[in-house]
Structure 1
Amino acid sequence: MRSSPYWPVIRHSTLRRILPGFAVSSLGDGMSVVAVSWLAIELAPAADRGVWVALATAAYTLPGAVGALVLGRFLRHLRPAQLAGWDAALRAVALGAIPVLHAFGALGIQGYIALLAVSSVLHSWGQAGVYTLIARVLPERDHLAGNAVLSGLGSVATVVGPPLATLLIVFGGPAMVLAVDATTFLVLAVTFLLAIPQDAVPEPEGDTASRTAGFAVIRRIPALSALLALTFAFFFLFGPVYVALPLHVSDDLGASAGVLAAYYTAFGIGAVLGSVLTGFLSRWRMWPTTVGIVIGFGALMLPLGLGAPTAVSLVCFGMAGLLWPPYASMSATLFQRWAPSALLPHTLAASSAVRVLSVPLGTALGGPLVAGLGAAGALRLSGTGITLVGLAAAALTLRAERTRYEPAAGAARPAGAEPEAEPEAEARSRP
């Protein structure tokens, strides 16, 4: 155990304070994956369920991108723990209002979507706070393992959360699940705001950045621009799955919420295994690995839209889950390594805003896609698009490699040299 790459993470004095709260909150999020869409299905008019499910799912994340842009002047000087804590507190209040209004019969579909939107306004800054904290309290060699621990807690929650949500839906309805989710965010808010001493996280001096400094950093470093473009396309094309999969289960398969939970659980089991493996990949070349993950993920999504038996599509969805944590952790690690320390929260918030925007945009597209192609057709288009994006990124990477080494082969570095092992200025110039 002591030789594991995760040992320095779980033994760190500051991280020991936040990991339990993060684990509880992740469980709530794992439950809400089922509850958010299922409550929208119950509240929405039958004729327009696809559109309303898409709006509800997008509202749970999309406003975070707006918050990253318009709230920078108020939030950019807060400590990482404060950013994460205020995000969790807002989620606890807004999500907690949903079951209260539902209990009094005062919750309509429009009000439901509005509350989901309010709950997510600070999410980009909250995520930036968490990953900035990881980067500042751990040495660089432990960043990937630290990110993998957070990803692993979320993955475990996607295994435990959906079945637990299904039980609560059966006995109390999806609003009860969101009440539990709100409680878990309250625990996380208390953890970040009260359990971490102010001097526990090192703070760089001289932060005079503007509210758009994070986007300027990404524009200035081509490697980060390329990574963020790949991530945006990947997540955007995955977005329609959040609409198509519930409707595929309920309409095409004629199945219950339990079958939908089984898909998310299979994805979660794969993600747990992927999270465990991620910490041991620190010697892999991160950029080629992220590109390969995108290609493999898209290929594994295709059986869902090609009419494969449910058992086969469940296995493939689970294998896709295996690839999700390494991609998330590696991309976060590259941002932590390449962005200037003083501007890391701003850069991560900008990155999170783009990523947060990508999934809801894809999810919003899911409603029209399902209406035009059917749920299976939307799933098929999603898998094909992700695969093609990965192949395009691989082709561009190979072309860049040839261009880099062909002009002056005698002066080139060894072919196995890692970008992150190069001098800082050169490493930031390309993937």
Structure 2
Amino acid sequence: MTDASPVNRSYREVLRDRRVAGLLVGDLLAHVGTGMIIVAMPVQTLAIHGSMPKAIAVGLVEAAPFVLSTMLALAIGLGRVRVPPRTLLVADCVLRSATFAVLGWLSLAGRLTLPVLIGGLLIGATFRVAGSSSRRLLATSMAGESGRFAVNGLLGVNQTFALYIVGPVVGGLIVATTSAGVALLADAAGALILLVAVVLTVPRSAGDDGGRSRAAGVESGWRILRRRPVAARLLVVVFFFDFFYMPIAVALPLYVGDPLGGDASSLGLLWGALGVGAFVGATLVDRLRNLPQRHLLIAIIGLWALCPIALALVDDLTVAMIVFGLGGLVWAPFTPVAYSFLQSGVAAHEQQQVVTLWTTGTMLAAPLGLAAGGPLIEAAGTAGGLVISGVLTLLLLPVAALAVLRR
């Protein structure tokens, strides 16, 4: 496994392939709908939480989509289940659009309750993790080895621009002027758009290995990673990096109210600021291909850790947006660089198991971190929870250095 591929095409060269461009456009528009949910979901939760503590309710709702989806993705990553990536992504789009359409209608009708919301998210996101890894597998397989780094970077651009800029800002405005139910319906529409893009642009054979894994048996992704110790150790680092981030997601809706004194639109602006910084960082990924990727990943961890600590010291929305924007700038290259580094050392017939297991490991940090984040914020307060998140991430630095730099 090397730090960089010998030949990497640019963003512009990869986008000349109409099939790749079409899938990426569908991915972009789907992320806009999901970005609205970042703002709408906590607002909806706080409106129906009842007697349950606010932080606990937000944590449960944010964690629900990861439970069943993590179980399915683990079965795929460990070689227990073999489903073509295209099929998984289609199933994810269909189930997600149906679920959010129902939840949106119930919200608009005033009949949505917290148990129904949690149950809907639990079932409707069954293919979420597998679908996420399938997007990456399909796009990188169509672009080929020389286009892998650029595609991973463009997926990061899509995520930051749509998920953290356009989506939250539009979602905040929609929630403030109409209701959270409208944003839920918008996410259902985004899933349908991605479904159309997949059907029209992705060949049925994309992401497959020509039957090699079926002939030889599907090997566990963990067994494959064990043959690549750096990748296995990096997975552990990435898991805790994401785990220590999750209390921030629980704290932000409360942080906007006190000390910032804002509302849903302010929460959207704060996420939008992160997105602007992350978008700039993601567009610069293409310029980072010649840097030592191991050292780059460690630097990102250290710089991001300063962000929540700085937020805890801020009581002004404008300053908070600047801090969060700078955090997004340094955080954005982490995922594209990590995935490119991982995929460069994995054979074609090993991609689905390894990438799905890797995605599952990183996403598993979300429900666990959110579940821990609720009690943490309740006990330490908003500012205390943000500081603890940053300090724990700083403590991850020496662990990351030993794990990634050791040959």
2:186 corresponds to which of 154, 162, 180: 180
More displaced 10-residue stretch of structure 1: 62-71 or 83-92: 62-71
1:204 corresponds to which of 210, 213, 216: 210
Maintained 8 Å contact 1:69/1:212: no
Aligned residue number for residue 142 of structure 1:
147
Deviation at 1:27, TM superposition (A): 0.6
Q: Normalization by structure 2: what TM-score?
A: 0.91
Aligned residue number for residue 59 of structure 2:
54
More displaced 10-residue stretch of structure 1: 96-105 or 173-182: 96-105
1:155 corresponds to which of 155, 160, 171: 160
Deviation at 1:348, TM superposition (A): 1.0
Structure with larger RCO (C-alpha < 8 A, sep 6+): 2
Deviation at 1:72, TM superposition (A): 6.9
Q: Normalization by structure 1: what TM-score?
A: 0.86
What amino acid is aligned across from residue 110 of structure 1 in structure 2? P
Deviation at 1:254, TM superposition (A): 2.8
What amino acid is aligned across from residue 112 of structure 2 in structure 1? L
Aligned residue number for residue 5 of structure 2:
none
Please list the CA deviations of residues 340-372 of structure 1 after superposition, one character each: whole Å capped at 9, or x if unmatched. 210211111111111111022111111101111
What amino acid is aligned across from residue 50 of structure 1 in structure 2? A
Cα pair distance change 1:46/1:257, threshold 3 Å: farther
More displaced 10-residue stretch of structure 1: 173-182 or 247-256: 247-256
The residue matched to 2:151 in structure 1 has which SS? helix
The residue matched to 1:105 in structure 2 has which SS? coil
Write the distance in 1 (CA, Å) between the matches of 2:82 and 2:343: 18
Aligned residue number for residue 43 of structure 2:
38
Deviation at 1:66, TM superposition (A): 1.4
What amino acid is aligned across from residue 126 of structure 1 in structure 2? G
More displaced 10-residue stretch of structure 1: 216-225 or 257-266: 216-225
Maintained 8 Å contact 2:85/2:208: no
More displaced 10-residue stretch of structure 1: 184-193 or 247-256: 247-256
1:130 and 2:135 equivalent? yes
Maintained 8 Å contact 1:263/1:314: yes
Write the distance in 1 (CA, Å) between the matches of 2:77 and 2:9: 38
The residue matched to 2:202 in structure 1 has which SS? coil
What amino acid is aligned across from residue 17 of structure 1 in structure 2? G
Larger Rg: 1
Maintained 8 Å contact 1:65/1:352: no
More displaced 10-residue stretch of structure 1: 189-198 or 233-242: 189-198
Cα pair distance change 1:58/1:210, threshold 3 Å: farther
Aligned residue number for residue 272 of structure 1:
279
1:323 and 2:333 equivalent? no
The residue matched to 2:282 in structure 1 has which SS? helix
Within 5 Å, which residues of 2 pair with 1:241-390?
241-307=248-314, 309-390=316-397
Maintained 8 Å contact 2:259/2:315: no
Write the distance in 1 (CA, Å) between the matches of 2:50 and 2:192: 32
Aligned residue number for residue 20 of structure 2:
15
What amino acid is aligned across from residue 185 of structure 1 in structure 2? A
Write the distance in 2 (CA, Å) between the matches of 1:321 and 1:286: 18
Deviation at 1:175, TM superposition (A): 1.4
Deviation at 1:60, TM superposition (A): 2.9
Maintained 8 Å contact 1:62/1:356: no
Deviation at 1:142, TM superposition (A): 2.4
Deviation at 1:395, TM superposition (A): 5.1
For these two proteins, the number of residue pairs brought into alignment is: 398
Cα pair distance change 1:163/1:273, threshold 3 Å: same
Write the distance in 1 (CA, Å) between the matches of 2:213 and 2:402: 39
Write the distance in 2 (CA, Å) between the matches of 1:272 and 1:75: 37
Deviation at 1:329, TM superposition (A): 0.1
Write the distance in 2 (CA, Å) between the matches of 1:125 and 1:47: 31
Cα pair distance change 1:211/1:48, threshold 3 Å: farther
Structure 1: segments with no counterpart, 5+ residues:
401-429
Structure 2: segments with no counterpart, 5+ residues:
1-7
Cα pair distance change 1:162/1:10, threshold 3 Å: same
Within 5 Å, which residues of 2 pair with 1:216-235?
216-235=223-242
2:120 corresponds to which of 115, 120, 130: 115
